[in-house]
Amino acid sequence: MRAAVVLGLIFSALGWWLLHQPVRPAPALIAGLASEGYAGAPCPARSLYEQDARKKRGPRADSAFAMRLREEFPLGSPSAALRDALSRQGFELFSPCANDENALGARWRGKNWGEPDAYVYWRIDPDEKLIFLDGHVTRAE
């Protein structure tokens, strides 16, 4: 009985602590955007099953975040501007595709429950100009 009470107090304190963590502001690129769900990286299909599933799903509409990105960083512009802006706003670079080293990515993950997560994907040409740019926000503010 004592163990149950102690565990209850511990879990209550942990829950209170998690709910009362300060929420850091979202980067300007994602401020005000609603959750658009997980869209996935622009990676080649890893299997025939995944390829068939993508065909059945069909093309998806551009997300509000993707449109905002392309407005600020038009295709054909230097990728360095995108990379610098993402870095300044706290995005971390990562490799989104294990089966495609040409896809580049950056992510901003919220530290607390109420903060959004955002992912940006791009590809560049030999002159390091943007030829593809996409992104999504996975949780609402």
In tens, the pLDDT along 91-113 reads: 999 999 888 889 999 999 888 77
Q: How far apart are CA 139 and CA 23, in angstroms?
A: 14
Structure tokens at 63: 């997300």
| Closest of 132, 110, 130, 107 to residue 120, by C-alpha | 107
The verdict on pTM exceeding 0.85 is no
pLDDT in tens, 32-70: 888 877 676 688 888 888 888 878 888 777 889 999 999
Structure tokens at 114: 């109420």
Domain ranges of the chain: 25-137
Residue 83, beta-bridge partner list: none
